[in-house]
């Protein structure tokens, strides 16, 4: 039999394979101070260089039990036949008729949004449960938690806008195989100054942990026309493609109560969950307490750019076919003072 994989002396050399995205490595650095609310100099350096730090055990897992429980009670209300004690029953929402877009994510409902959203491209492996994350008991255990706020203040300063909501409980279901071709790298089109992923349940390696391209916060920050609003210059897609081809992403595996603080310009993705557990993460957004627009920005556009499209900016119309989509699930807003170009020192208005 011919072995066609071996070139014969006369055959032209095979073209070099196009460089593929680099695969994630599990982040396992335990920087000095990572178990304290106080930031250490090493953590500040790591945040500035890489765009993130992980604080271990920042929230007592006991306090997060009620947060994680709300996923299981919502599953019961939605009539998913999930038995918490039997991972074999952790079947995808789409197997229970809840996909695609059972109710479109853009639905504004006079600011209340929707209780649940089921996504995950073709695979249907993500569930975003929004319902409890504006409630005081939820916020006190997450975005408003004293230790979370202490870290936020050490990073962006004492003047922090009070948190009114988290994005939601972001659940990644186990997949038997990689249903959607891996990570979906992107940057968020929001005006936050700092983000935090709170792990409400343990997430082992391969468990769909938040995944981030270290150092991308700098290159993406300097590729914007303005500092905080979503105004990428030409070539942004190419920049992201280059990061994907050249930077090794890190996957944040964590215990319940661990918190990953990250710079909002970082390229990132939810991980792929190949374990038998649900991944439950609560993303939070923070900014300084300066005057802001009343509503969050539209997906992919600053308000200035959204106005320039000439499309309807009515929140209730938002996201319908060919309309802009208001990101009602985001707590941060554009500052009303005009945004300025990226600073030479991107930390100038931070506390670090």
Ligand X SMILES: O=C(O)CCC(=O)C(=O)O
Give the residues lining the site for ligand X (CB under 6 A): 167, 170, 188, 210, 268, 270, 281, 283
Q: How far is the CB of 184 from ligand X (least distance, A)?
A: 8
Between residues 83 and 101, which has the closer beta carbon with respect to ligand X? 101
Q: Is 285 in the site for Fe ion (CB under 5 A)?
A: no
Span interacting with Fe ion, options 39-47, 183-191, 247-255, 323-331, rule CB under 5 A: 183-191
Q: Is 63 exposed, middle or buried (0-12, 13-18, 19+ CB in 10 A)?
A: middle
Does residue 179 contact residue 264 with C-beta atoms inside 8 Å? no
Nearer to ligand X, 199 or 221 (CB): 199
At closest approach, how far in Å is the CB of 272 from ligand X? 11
Indicate the burial class of 204 (C-beta count within 10 angstroms; 0-12, 13-18, 19 or more).
Answer: middle
> Least CB distance from residue 275 to ligand X, whole Å?
15
Compute φ and ψ for 83, nearest 5 degrees. Answer: -105, 115
31 versus 270: smaller Cβ distance to ligand X: 270
The option from ligand X, Fe ion, none interacting with 165 (CB < 5 to 8 A, set by class) reads: none
Report how far apart, in Å, the C-alpha atoms of 119 and of each of 100, 105, 243 are.
6, 9, 25
154 vs 188, beta carbon nearer ligand X: 188
Out of ligand X, Fe ion, none, which partner does residue 132 contact, by CB within 5 to 8 A per kind? none
CB of 63 to ligand X, least distance (A): 21
CA distances for 47 relative to 31, 42, 138, angstroms: 11, 9, 27
Which listed option, ligand X, Fe ion, none, makes contact with residue 324 (CB within 5 to 8 Å by class)? none
Nearer to Fe ion, 188 or 334 (CB): 188
- Positive or negative CA dihedral for 182, 185, 191, 197? positive
Least CB distance to ligand X at residue 326 (A): 15
Q: How far apart are CA 259 and CA 33, in angstroms?
A: 13
Q: Which residue is nearest to Fe ion (CB)?
A: 188
Q: How far is the CB of 119 from Fe ion (least distance, A)?
A: 12
Nearest approach in angstroms of CB 78 to Fe ion is 24
Question: What are the CA-CA distances from residue 96 to residues 89, 93, 126, 176, 303 (Å)?
Answer: 12, 5, 13, 17, 38
* d(C-alpha 141, C-alpha 148), whole Å: 9
Q: Which is nearer to ligand X, 75 or 281 (CB)?
A: 281
Question: Which partner, ligand X, Fe ion, none, binds residue 210 by CB below 5 to 8 Å per kind?
Answer: ligand X
Residue 281, contacted partner among Fe ion, ligand X, none, CB below 5-8 A by kind: ligand X
DSSP 131-173: GGGGSHHHHHHTTT-HHHHHHHHHHH-S-BPPP-----EEEE-
| Residue 167 interacting partner from ligand X, Fe ion, none (CB closer than 5 to 8 Å by kind) | ligand X
- Sequence-ordered list of residues with C-beta below 8 angstroms from that of 75, at least 6 positions apart, any chain: 82
Please tell me the distance from the alpha carbon of residue 212 to that of residue 266, in angstroms, as a whole number. 7
188 near Fe ion, rule: CB under 5 A = yes
Nearer to ligand X, 64 or 270 (CB): 270
DSSP for 273-320, written as a single string: B-SSS-EEEEEEEE-BSS-B-SSPPBTT--HHHHHHTT----GGGTTS
Residue 136 CB, shortest distance to Fe ion, in Å, is 26
If 0-12 CB within 10 Å is exposed, 13-18 middle and 19+ buried, where does residue 99 land? buried
250 binds, among Fe ion, ligand X, none (CB under 5 to 8 A by kind): none
- Comparing CB distances to Fe ion, the nearer of 114 and 270 is 270
CB of 167 to ligand X, least distance (A): 6
With CB under 5 to 8 Å by kind, the binding choice for 270 among ligand X, Fe ion, none is: ligand X
Residues at the contact surface with Fe ion, assessed by CB under 5 A? 188
């Amino acid at each position: 039999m011919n072995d066609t994989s071996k070139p014969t002396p006369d055959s032209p050399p095979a073209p070099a394979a196009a460089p593929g995205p680099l695969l994630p490595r599990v982040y396992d650095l335990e920087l000095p101070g990572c178990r304290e609310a106080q930031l250490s100099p090493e953590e500040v350096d790591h945040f500035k260089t890489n765009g993130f730090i992980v604080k271990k055990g920042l929230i007592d897992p006991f306090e997060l039990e009620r947060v994680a429980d709300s996923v299981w009670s919502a599953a019961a209300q939605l009539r998913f036949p999930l038995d918490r004690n039997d991972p074999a029953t952790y079947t995808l929402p789409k197997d229970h008729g809840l996909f695609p877009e059972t109710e479109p994510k853009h639905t504004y409902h006079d600011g209340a949004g929707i209780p649940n959203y089921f996504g995950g491209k073709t695979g249907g492996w993500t569930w975003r449960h929004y319902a409890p994350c504006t409630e005081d008991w939820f916020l006190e255990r997450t975005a408003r938690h004293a230790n979370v706020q202490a870290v936020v203040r050490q990073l962006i300063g004492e003047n922090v806008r009070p948190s009114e909501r988290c994005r939601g409980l972001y659940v990644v279901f186990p997949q038997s195989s990689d249903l959607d071709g891996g990570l979906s790298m992107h940057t968020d089109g929001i005006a936050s100054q700092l983000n935090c992923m709170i792990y409400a349940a343990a997430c082992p390696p391969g468990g769909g942990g938040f995944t981030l391209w270290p150092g991308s916060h700098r290159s993406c920050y300097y590729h914007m026309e303005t500092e905080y609003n979503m105004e990428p210059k030409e070539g942004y897609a190419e920049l992201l493609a280059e990061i994907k081809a050249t930077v090794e992403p890190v996957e944040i595996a964590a215990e319940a109560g661990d918190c990953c603080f990250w710079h909002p310009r970082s390229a990132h993705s939810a991980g792929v969950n190949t374990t038998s557990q649900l991944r439950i993460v609560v993303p939070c957004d923070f900014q300084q307490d300066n005057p802001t627009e009343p509503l969050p920005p539209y997906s992919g556009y600053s308000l200035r750019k959204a106005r320039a499209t000439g499309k309807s900016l009515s929140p209730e119309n938002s996201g319908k076919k060919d309309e802009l989509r208001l990101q009602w699930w985001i707590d941060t807003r554009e500052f009303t003072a005009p945004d300025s170009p990226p600073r030479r020192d991107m930390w100038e208005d931070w506390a670090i």
